[in-house]
Structure 1
Amino acid sequence: MSRRNWKRLQPSSLRHALELCKDYAKEKHNLSVERIAERMGLADHWTLYKWIQNGRMPICLVRAYEAVCGINYATRWLAASGGYLLIDMPTGRNASAEDIQVLQQTLNDAVGLLLQFHAGKGQEADTLAALQQGLEGLAWHHRNIERHLQPELELNP
């Protein structure tokens, strides 16, 4: 079984986003739905199962859910469905050669899928996801260069 590339996944609906968060929490942090619900402070884990199944969760609990799961797919989907890009806040640090290679590969994949789509051979959802990821990568580097003159300290413990 191959491992998922979590950074490249783009949710196609809010339900899909909630499921991806749950799957990420299970794979990366070994958290079951019961443990996620407990850490969110929910009295009943069946409520969380219901929210994931029907793709409807109170908006005030989305951030708590994502914080427990360790990834922000629901927020990404909400931004994308409103026509916005969600970009991690850059700190103004120097980009490594690996960072630039990842960006180059992302853009190469996006252009390849775009060519396939216009040739009638590509899938719309895959093409849109790749283009969004490429735009987010470019926007991150754009903001990182702007912030380069005023770098911030990383406060991760």
Structure 2
Amino acid sequence: MTRRDWKHARANSVVHALRLCKEFALVRHNLSVERIADRMGVTHDSLYKWLGNGRMPAILVPAYELACGCHYVSDWYGAAAGRLVVPMPTGRAVSEADLLAVNSSCAAALALLTTFYADPTRADAAVATLEALRAHLEQVAFHHHNVARYAAPELEF
């Protein structure tokens, strides 16, 4: 059995997203469907039904994701609505290497974008371009979060 790269896993349907969450909970947290249902406060029969047909009530999606420890369903709903979903990073100290990494990822993304627009029929160029753009946007989101923290500082109690 090969290890799944959970960080780069993307769902292609709501049923697939629900199952990815279930598999993540099983692999990472050793949670069965019964234990997930218990943490959500529902019966395991209901959870099995929702996993089978993809019709989980929207009010229960956050509880399901909290029980599983991942957010594949929310990410899929955002992507299905045409939104780019980037996880909000946690703040940490920034080094000069981090700022250089943003510059180099921007340059790499632009180079791949230029290659893609020169010949958009190449499938490998599209996949590499999407991954480079996503990586760059995640880095920019990290710095956005850090700057926003200074605009509204957190108070220590």
Whether these two folds match at TM > 0.5 is yes
2:136, 2:148 → 1: CA distance? 18
2:83, 2:16 → 1: CA distance? 18
What is aligned with 1:22?
Answer: 22
1:123, 1:90 → 2: CA distance? 27
Task: Flag the structure with more relative contact order, 1 or 2, with Cα contacts below 8 A and sequence separation at least 6.
Answer: 1
2:7, 2:125 → 1: CA distance? 20
2:149, 2:91 → 1: CA distance? 4
Structure 1 residues 129 and 28: CA distance shift in structure 2, 3 A: farther
DSSP 3-state at the match of 1:4: coil
Considering only aligned residues, what root-mean-square deviation do their CA atoms show, in Å?
3.7
| Structure 1 position 62, deviation (Å) | 0.3
**Percent sequence identity over aligned pairs:** 41
| Structure 1 position 132, deviation (Å) | 6.9
What is aligned with 2:51?
Answer: 52
* 1:2-151 equivalence runs, <5 A: 2-43=2-43, 45-95=44-94, 104=105, 111=112, 115=116, 118-122=120-124, 130=131, 133-134=134-135, 136-147=137-148, 149-150=150-151
What is the aligned residue count? 149
TM-score normalised over the length of structure 2: 0.71
| Structure 1 position 128, deviation (Å) | 8.7
User: In the TM superposition, what whole-angstrom CA distance separates every residue of 1:53-110 from its partner, at most 9, and x where no partner exists?
Assistant: 1111100000000000000100001111111223333454324658986994xx76xx
